Structure 1
Amino acid sequence: MRRFSLTPISLALAASLATPVTTAAEQPEVLETVSVLGAMVQLKKLPGSAHLVTNEELEKFEFVDINRMMRSVPGVYLREEDGYGLRPNIGIRGADGGRSGKVSLMEDGVLIAPAPYSAPEAYYFPTAGRMNSIEVLKGPATLKYGPFTVGGAVNLLSTPIPEASAGSIQLEAGQYGENRLHTYYGSSTETSGWLLETHQQQADGFRDIDRAGSADIAKQDYLLKGRLKSAEGAAFAQQLDVKVQYSEEESGMSYLGLSDADFAADPNRRYGISALDEMQNRHSTVQLNHSIALGDGFSLDTQAYYNKFKRDWFKVGLGGLISDANDGDTFAQAVLQGDEDYDFGIKHNDRNYVSRGVQVSANLLLEAVGIEHDLQVGVRRHWDEVDRFQPVENFSQVSGELIYRNTSDPSSSNNRVEDADATSLFVYDQVQLTKKLALTASLRYEDVQTAQQRYNNVDRSEAGSSKSNKVDEWLPGLGLTYAISDQLTILAGVHRGFAPAGAGASKGEAGDLSTNYEWGVRFDNSDLNAALVAFYSDYESAVQNCSVAIPCANGDDSGTYALGESEIQGVEVSLGSEWVLANGWAFPLSASYTYTDAEISKNGDEYIDSNGAEGLARGDNFAYLPENVFAVTTGIDSGAEWRVNLTAAYQDEMCVDTSCNRGGTDQFDRTESVWVVDAAAHYDFSNELAAYLKVDNLLDDQAIINRAPDGARANRPRTASVGMTYRF
Structure 2
Amino acid sequence: MKRATSRLAITLAGSAYLASLPLAAVEPDQDNTATLEEITVKGDWLEPPTKDNIRTYPGGRSAITDTELQQAGARTLEDALRLVPGVRAQDETGTGILPNIGVRGLDPRRSTRTLVLVDGIPIALAPYGQTGLSMFPLTMQTVDRVDVARGGAAVRYGPNNVGGVINFISKPIQDKFSATLREALTISTETGNVLTDSYLRAGGFVNDRLGLQFQANTLMGDSSRAHSDTEVENLALDAHWFVTDNASLKAGLQYYNTDTQLPGSLSPKAYEQDRFQSQRPYDKFQGDTVRGHLVYNQNFNLFGSPAEFNWTNFAHTSDREFTVGCQLNAAATSCNLDPSKVSDGVQTSPRTFTVYGTEPRLTVATKTGWLDHKFTLGGRYVSEDVEQGVDRNRLSTGKITNAQDFHFGTDAFALYGSDTLSVWNDRLNVTPGLRAEWIDQSSYNRLAGTAVDSRSNELLPGVDVGIKLWPDKLFLFGNVHKSLQPVQFTQITLGGDTGVEKAWNYEAGLRVSPLSELDATFSYFRFDFDNQIVGVVKNGTTKFRNLGQAQHQGYETELDWRPSFLAGLDLKAGYTYVDTQQLNNLFSGTTQVAFKNNEVPFSSHHQISLQGNYRINTVNFNVNGSYLSSAFTDAANTVPENAVGDKGKIPGYWLWNAQITKDFRVDKANMRVGLAGNNLFNQDYYFRGVDTSLGRMAGPGRSVMLSLQMDL
Normalising to structure 1: TM-score of the pair? 0.84
For the 8 Å contact 1:513–1:539, the answer to whether it is kept is: yes
Give yes or no for contact 1:468–1:503 (8 Å, CA) kept in 2: no
Matched, 1:721 2:705: yes
> What amino acid sits opposite 2:201 in the alignment?
Y
- Structure 1 position 705 matched with structure 2 position 705: no
How many residues matched? 652
Compared CA separation, residues 510 and 277, structure 1 to 2 (3 A): closer
Q: Which residue of 1 aligns with 2:142?
A: 130
**Within-5 A mapping of 1:207-222:** 207-208=225-226, 214-222=227-235
Match of 2:53, SS state, is helix
Write the distance in 2 (CA, Å) between the matches of 1:268 and 1:298: 57
* Shift in CA distance, 607/482, structure 1 to aligned 2, threshold 3 Å: farther
Kept in 1, the 8 Å contact 2:620–2:661? The answer is yes
Could you tell me which amino acid in structure 1 is paired with residue 132 of structure 2?
A: E
Give the secondary structure class of the aligned counterpart of 1:186.
strand
Q: What is the CA-CA distance between 1:374 and the residue it aligns to?
A: 2.4
Moved more, 697-706 or 616-625: 616-625
Q: Distance in 1 between matches of 2:51 and 2:170?
A: 18
Other-structure match for 2:522: 532
1:579 aligned counterpart, secondary structure:
coil
Q: Which residue of 1 aligns with 2:174?
A: 162
Q: Does the 8 Å contact 1:563/1:616 carry over to 2? A: no
Q: In the alignment, is residue 624 of structure 1 matched against residue 615 of structure 2?
A: no
User: Structure 2: which amino acid aligns with 1:221?
Assistant: N
The answer on 1:511 being equivalent to 2:500 is yes
Amino acid at match of 1:91: G
**Aligned partners of 1:426 and 1:33: how far apart in 2?**
13
2:222 aligned to 204, 220, 241, which one? 204
Q: Which of 160, 172, 178 is the aligned partner of 2:184?
A: 172
Which amino acid is the alignment partner of residue 480 of structure 2? V
Q: 1:494 to 1:692 in 2, by over 3 A?
A: same
Q: In structure 2, do the counterparts of structure 1 residues 614 and 637 end up closer, same or farther at CA, with 3 Å as the change threshold? A: farther
Pair 1:571 & 2:560 matched = no
Deviations 1:43-80 (A, max 9, x none): 32222111111111111133242111111222322233
TM-score w.r.t. the length of structure 2 is 0.86
1:717 and 1:135 map into 2 onto residues whose CA distance is: 28
> Is 2:475 the partner of 1:484?
no
Q: 1:490–1:520: 8 Å Cα contact kept in structure 2?
A: yes
1:182 alignment partner in structure 2? 199
Give, in whole Å, the separation in 2 of the partners of 1:223 and 1:616: 52
Shift of 1:552: 5.6
1:682 partner amino acid: T
* C-alpha separation in 2, matches of 1:658 and 1:390: 28
Change (3 A) 1:205 1:677: same
Question: Residue 424 of structure 1 aligns to which amino acid in structure 2?
Answer: A
Q: Is the 8 A contact 2:40 2:306 kept in 1?
A: no
1:447 aligns to what?
438
The AA in structure 1 aligned to 2:484 is F
Aligned to 2:190: none
Which residue of structure 2 lines up, in the alignment, with residue 251 of structure 1?
260
1:81–1:706 CA contact under 8 A, matched in 2? no
CA contact (8 A) 1:655 1:670 kept: yes
CA distance in 2, matches of 1:693, 1:200: 20
In 1: Cα distance, 2:586 partner to 2:44 partner: 46
Residues 143 and 149 of structure 1 are in contact (CA less than 8 Å); yes or no, is this contact kept in structure 2? no
Q: What is the match of residue 522 of structure 1? A: 511
| Residue 657 in structure 1 maps to residue 611 in structure 2 | no
Which runs of structure 2 are paired with 1:638-653 in the superposition (5 Å)?
A: 638=616, 640-653=617-630
| Contact map agreement 1:671 1:707 (CA 8 A) in 2 | no
Offset at 1:581? 4.7
- Secondary structure, aligned partner of 2:484: strand
1:677 deviates by 0.5
User: Match of 1:17?
Assistant: none
Q: Identical aligned pairs, as a percentage?
A: 19
Q: 1:352 to 1:632 in 2, by over 3 A?
A: same
Change (3 A) 1:186 1:443: same
Q: 1:509 to 1:247 in 2, by over 3 A?
A: closer
Q: Deviations over 1:229-275 (max 9, x none)?
A: 1344xxxx100111000011111014x4111122112110111xx21
* Distance across 2 between alignment mates of 1:228 and 1:474: 37
Q: Does 1:280 align with 2:286?
A: yes
Render the CA deviation track for 1:137-176: whole Å, top value 9, x for unaligned.
Answer: 1322332112123221111111111121111111112312
Indicate conservation of the 8 Å contact 1:300/1:360, yes or no: yes
Deviation readout 1:108-130 (Å, 9 max, x if unpaired):
11111001212221112122332
Q: Deviation per CA, 1:189-211: give whole Å up to 9, x if none.
A: 32110001100111223212xxx
Aligned-residue offset at 1:614: 8.9
Q: Partner residue of 1:14?
A: none
Distance 1:376 1:91 in 2: 30
Q: Could you tell me whether the CA contact under 8 Å between 1:391 and 1:407 is conserved in 2?
A: no
Shift of 1:562: 1.5
Q: CA RMSD in A?
A: 2.7
Instruction: Output the CA distance in 2 between the equivalents of 1:467 and 1:96.
Output: 28
Using a 3 Å threshold, how does the CA distance of structure 1 residues 554 and 50 change in structure 2: closer, same or farther? farther
1:604-624: CA deviation from partner (whole Å, max 9, x where unpaired): 52799xxxx994621132221
Partner of 1:4 in structure 2? none
Q: Return closer, same or farther for 1:354/1:128 CA change in 2, 3 Å cut-off.
A: farther
Counterpart for residue 352 of structure 1: 352
d(CA) in 2 for partners of 1:722, 1:579: 30
CA contact (8 A) 2:556 2:577 kept: yes
Q: Is the 8 A contact 2:576 2:608 kept in 1?
A: yes
Q: Which letter does structure 2 place at the counterpart of 1:266?
A: D
1:278-317 aligned within 5 A = 278-295=284-301, 297-317=306-326
Contact 1:281/1:311 (<8 A) preserved: yes
Q: Shift of residue 555 of structure 1? A: 6.4
Q: Tell me the amino acid that sits aligned with residue 517 of structure 2.
A: D
In structure 2, the residue matched to 1:592 is 574
Asked if the contact 1:607–1:617 (Cα under 8 Å) also holds between the matched residues in 2, the reply is no
Please give the secondary structure, in 1, of the residue aligned with 2:271: helix
Q: Is the 8 A contact 2:332 2:541 kept in 1?
A: no
Q: Tell me if the contact between 2:485 and 2:502 (Cα under 8 Å) persists in the aligned partners.
A: yes
Distance of aligned partners of 1:205 and 1:533 in 2 relative to their CA distance in 1, 3 Å threshold: same
Shift of the 497–35 alpha-carbon distance from structure 1 to 2, 3 Å rule, reads: closer
Quick check: 1:554–1:615 contact (8 Å CA) kept in 2? no
The separation in 2 between residues aligned to 1:406 and 1:94, in whole angstroms, is 45
Q: Which residue of 2 aligns with 1:242?
A: 251
Superposed, 1:529-568 pairs within 5 Å as: 529-544=519-534, 546=535, 551=536, 557=542, 560-568=544-552
Which residue number corresponds to residue 612 of structure 2? 634
CA contact (8 A) 1:77 1:626 kept: no
What amino acid is the match of 1:704?
Answer: Y
Alignment of 1:193 with 2:211, yes or no, is: yes
**In the alignment, which of 655, 673, 677 is matched to residue 676 of structure 1?**
655
Query: What amino acid is the match of 2:438?
Result: D
What is the deviation of 1:278? 1.6
Partner of 1:688: helix, strand, or coil?
strand
Q: Which residue of 1 aligns with 2:91?
A: 80
Q: d(CA) in 2 for partners of 1:34 and 1:691?
A: 38
